[in-house]
Amino acid sequence: MAHLVASRSYVSYTPMQLKRKLEENPYTFIHIINPEFGNKKKSKANSAQRFEKVRKRYEDFIKNGFLVKNTQKAYYLYQQESELGIFKGLICGISIDDYLQGSIRIHEHTLTEREEVFCNYLDICNFNAEPVLLSYKENTAEIQSQLAALSSQRPLLDFSTTDGCRHRLWEIADAHSQESIANTFAKIDTMYIADGHHRTASSALLGKRRRAARSTEESPGSDFILAMLMPAEQLVIKPFHRLISLKEGLKEQELLQKLSEDFILERSSTPVVPSAKRTWGMRIAGAWYALRLRKMPQAAAIKEQLDAVILTEKVLEPVFGIRDQKTDPRINFIPGTESLHPYEKAIDAGDHSALFTLYRVDTEELFAVADANEVMPPKSTWVAPKLRSGLVVMPLD
């Protein structure tokens, strides 16, 4: 039943996809996340009442045998194969102290309100079902050799999903293998959050609060962050493109004139998706343009050299007046994995004003920003692999 239970992240589904999934599949983990599907009267979103229902549905899944609790502590080796590549890593608990003390580094800010909401969610539901993705650049050869040896055995789970991905999971329960893995990972000084900043921060916040409230020295699940650890060379990073929608419409010649002050513009008969840094593509009604900076910035801060930052400072803020990309309704973010054709048609039809395409951020840039205690703009990176919810669930008591 693993292929029926484990799901993509809840937020990755459209409302129509969610409705169809919940109607057709009684086993999907989404029924836990959305326990009131089909109810006419629903509790308030993000309320304690809603979270209590999530926990009750989770307990029902255990009672019905859809989820089975392991009787012993274990690490899990997970491998995902898709058109993007083969990803292999270790699913485990990471101490909240590593995050609080800075051994786990960040490249984006979190919103306090979202941290609080997810912290309350974890506290009431008392389980964590979606690992954050952590990456590392040290000792990778030794670790991958270790994991390769373990993956030669028969997997605990082996299934494929309708998005074309194959998922395999190995349980690592024997004490010798666990000790060997722990000793190898202990040689790594720093890890980096590749995906899951808010989930990491919320897990650490809950751990701190529960630790302060208890009187014993026990180490419950809330002292740990559910994570998958994967080497940097396996990460696949795609850009997020910027889709602009203006109520007042776009004055093409005025836009081209403004852009020509900082960029060399070349009209293109085909879509422009940059193949190198410091270049951008722009789609306006009926035309594509390639953009190249006339003068490269001499920025001191590492993040100031990112293409997304340059686009913000040279185009989004001065030309469109978009100063807060987190809240401004005039900008939307398109993952680099999506086809651009629907957006071309929408721009030509006047539904949107312009689309700016970017080149991807590489792992060296991501790590450099984190090491310098800087942060990237919103939606700078789309990172694979995307992990399944409910494949491995960590109780927090």
Q: Mean of the pLDDT values across residues 198-209? A: 96
Q: In this structure, is residue 149 part of a structural domain?
A: yes
Q: In this structure, is residue 376 part of a structural domain?
A: no
State pLDDT tens for residues 46-60: 999 999 999 999 999
State pLDDT tens for residues 104-124: 999 998 889 999 999 999 999
Residue where the block lists tokens 């484990």:
6
State pLDDT tens for residues 348-391: 999 999 999 999 999 999 999 999 999 998 899 999 999 999 99
Residues 50 and 90 in one domain: no
Contact 111, 192 (CB under 8 A): no
Inter-helix orientation angle 197-213/112-125, to 10°: 60
Q: How many CA atoms lie within 13 A of 368 on its CB side?
A: 12
> Distance (Å, rounded) from C-alpha 227 to C-alpha 392?
10
Residues 219 and 143 in one domain: yes
Residues 227 and 81 in one domain: yes
Residue 297 has phi, psi (to 5 degrees) of: -70, 145
Residues 198 and 295 in one domain: no
Number of domains in the chain: 3
State pLDDT tens for residues 319-335: 999 999 989 999 999 99
Residues 262 and 231 in one domain: no
Residue-wise DSSP of 14-26: -HHHHHHHHHH-T
Residues 149 and 275 in one domain: no
Residue 50 has phi, psi (to 5 degrees) of: -65, -45
> Distance (Å, rounded) from C-alpha 386 to C-alpha 228?
11
Q: In this structure, is residue 69 part of a structural domain?
A: no
Residue 249 predicted with pLDDT over 80: no
Q: In this structure, is residue 378 part of a structural domain?
A: no
313 Cβ contact partners less than 8 Å away, ≥ 6 residues apart = none
Domain boundary among 43, 63, 83: 63
CATH number at residue 147: 3.90.1530.10
Q: How high is the pLDDT of residue 12?
A: 87
> Can you say whether the dihedral through the CA atoms of 9, 11, 15, 19 is positive or negative?
positive
Q: Comparing C-alpha atoms, which of 10, 237, 241 is closest to residue 133?
A: 237
Residue range of the domain that includes 247: 240-359
Residue where the block lists tokens 């942060």:
375
Residue where the block lists tokens 């840094």:
277
Q: In this structure, is residue 41 part of a structural domain?
A: yes
Window from 4-8, 212-216, 358-362 with minimum mean pLDDT: 212-216
Residues 6 and 81 in one domain: no
Residue-wise DSSP of 53-107: HHHHHHHHHHHTTSS---SS--EEEEEEEETTEEEEEEEEEEEHHHHHTTSEE-S
pLDDT tier for residue 299 given thresholds of 50, 70 and 90: low
